[in-house]
Amino acid sequence: MIISHCELESLLGVHNSQPHGLLGMHPYVENGKVCTIVVRAFLQDARRCFAVDSVANEKFQLEQIDGSGFFEGIIKTRTKVFKYKLLKESYGGELLELDDPYSFLPTIGERERDLFAWGRNIHIYEQLGANFREIDGVAGFSFGVWAPNAKAVSVVGDFNSWDGRYHQMRLLGNSGIWELFIPALKNFDSYKFQILNARGDITLKSDPYASHFEGAPNNASKLFNVSGYDWQDGEWLASRATTDWQKSAISAYELHMDSWRRVVADNNRPLTYRELANELAKYLSQMGFTHVELMPPTEHPFLGSWGYQVTGFFSPTHRYGTPHDFMYLVDTLHRHNIGVIIDWVPAHFPRDSFALEDFDGTKLYEHDDPRIGCHRDWGTLIFNYGRHEVRNFLLSSAVSWAERFHVDGIRVDAVASMLYLDYSREAGEWLPNRYGGKENIEAIEFLRELNHTFQENFPGFITIAEESTAFGGITHGIEHHGLGFDFKWNMGWMHDVLLYFSKDPIFRKYHHNQLTFAMLYQHSEHFICALSHDEVVHGKCSLIYKMPGNSLSEKMGHLRCLYAYMWFWPGKKTLFMGQEFGQTGEWNYHQSLDWHLLQYEEHSGVQRLVGDLNGMYRTHAFLHETDSTCYGFEWACCDDCENSVISFMRFGQDSGEKCIIICNLTPIERENYRLGVPLGGYWKEVLNTDSAHYAGQNRGNCGHVHADNCPMHRWEFSLNLRLPPLTTLVLMPERVNGGQISL
């Protein structure tokens, strides 16, 4: 036996950081001279083992020197290493030829490791994790994991009986990265990393970079070759790359995949990715939405977190299929000209012991100090944005969704919690930054780097911030000291509008400013008007039941009025699923939406209205081209609080197109309501939310009204209107400069 007892014990005890130095084929040096070749291998259930010369087909028997399956052989007739395979003879007499994992060079180069250490390797997901490779004609999976404080790491899984002795990894220099290539593994094999951590404890951790997972309670990572999907969305991606989304229509349908629709006949299960692809593409096309926004599709162990407590930042959740099935979903939506935005969660991660927490026995991904490392509200941990490798992990996660899965944008969740060190903390419960302030400087720099990366490498990709404070410059350019997001959810608008609409109409005149205040800051950022899932859970009730009124019909009138007001207000649009048909029940993630409500005219009417609003928003360029500029909006009358009527103009900067929007926000019909307009002639009533088509009472202005030469509201013409109760009207001039407008 050439191997020393100490070396053998380091392998059998799984505490060797350089197993490749002992296992595999090596020249044996004696007295400074190579005198022979030694081969060592760990093999399960092997009675005998041979090293077979792949060229000469000569066999050399190895000696079993430990009952665990450790073999060592001395090839006295050779002095140079050669290409070989292992031939295993089982106790049953079967022969199996194997490629030795310890015969391969590292799959992660020095440059890739250096870039990772600097936080600059946006494609690190192609080196870390488990990636299918073919090396010298040998197919297998390469494994890589960052655990700089670990003493030893092994790959354990279905393929080695979860025994850490058989596939021990090597530490690559001082990078903290452990690596191993294992031939002949197959898709869906479960695996984890067995880590001898900094405290000397052995733990099992799922792969932070895994592309597929199994479900609870084991939560193992699964092997999956994500390459090879035959994408058919080239035309969409080419068009996206040349699209200026600031001037284009974005009307997003926010969706929770588990509860959109379910297969009641099959144990009430959710749709698979492939089932969802076909049904959702058809529905969104009919409804006129431009995008779907998926609540986090990333892997998460607890369904009740709705995906916001992520344990697999590179993996679509296993619940609805494989990564290729998710690709099919995205591909199908693209082929129906529907973009895909995902909610992405870099603000925190859960404390599940199998995942990122205390990964190598130290606070690797999180902070040591709970005053900056823990979210009190959510019971989660905060990423250490000051560590290069952690920033690289997050940055690479976002990039992987763009490159691997072709998604078109990310909505970054809980940005406010990232920006402020005192977020949801009392005095004395947080640590100031190095300048004594409350801003999280490292998180701010990370967000700038994130947005810069997408702007440089992925033209047409959208980044959206869910940010609820008055932090300035969220959507301003990085060169102007902003964060560089494309859009920001307009949380202030959402709060004020829903508060206003929840008031009894008799009191609304005292809250008129809640509808007008948003215009004071409307152009400070690039906004999205969002009515999201957060507004219809936790006892907040559905949108329809936020509306006042003694009857469903009256509540529907309020809701239709709100939707029309929202769609014609400047800014992109996001609406949570179910609200497009006025679902009455609060959203329940355990069950399907209440699609049966569409048999009732009030609900189908609201659905038709949302479809028509999307159609108008997309068809008339002036309604979306100026969403993010100070042009294209003008108040008609913003101070009629006594009547609770609000009116404003939307117009094109160059086209000459325009429309006027009038909202009567009380259940009182107002006849002979005089409103100034900039043009004489006929104005066509292109939208009336009280139309019978939308289950209204069909009251209005008989389709059009003539502008009289009667000055009002700073204009020389005015309309004498009939305003139905709880109704939004939209009128467009039938002639501009002598030309007929296409309506």
- Give the catalytic positions in this structure: 413, 466
* Beta bridge mates, 624: none
Say how far apart CA 257 and CA 273 lie, in whole Å: 9
Is the CA virtual torsion 551, 553, 559, 564 positive or negative?
negative
Within 10 Å of residue 637's Cβ, how many Cβ atoms? 18
CA dist., res. 515 & res. 645, Å (int): 10
What's the gap between Cα 294 and its chain centre? 7
Nearest-angstrom CA–CA distance, 353 and 163: 20
Are 678 and 660 in contact by the 8 Å Cβ rule? The answer is: no
- Amino acid (1-letter code) at residue 742: S
C-alpha 284/C-alpha 326 separation (Å) is: 17
Q: Find where tokens 């919690």 sit.
A: 417
Cis peptide before 217 (omega within 30 of 0): yes
Is the bond leading into 19 cis (omega within 30 degrees of zero)? no
**Alpha-carbon gap, residue 399 to 119, rounded angstroms:** 13
Rounded CA separation 597/607 (Å): 11
Q: How far is the C-alpha of 633 from the C-alpha of 729, rounded, in Å?
A: 16
Q: Are 409 and 292 in contact (CB under 8 A)?
A: no
Name the burial class of residue 378, with classes exposed (0-12), middle (13-18) and buried (19+) by CB atoms within 10 angstroms of its CB: middle
Dist. CA 361–CA 737, nearest whole Å: 74
**Distance (Å) of CA 312 to CA 240, 342, 356, 531, 662:** 28, 14, 10, 28, 48
**Dist. CA 465–CA 453, nearest whole Å:** 16
CB atoms within 10 A of CB 189: 18
Alpha carbon distances (Å) from 363 to 347, 372, 682: 16, 12, 70
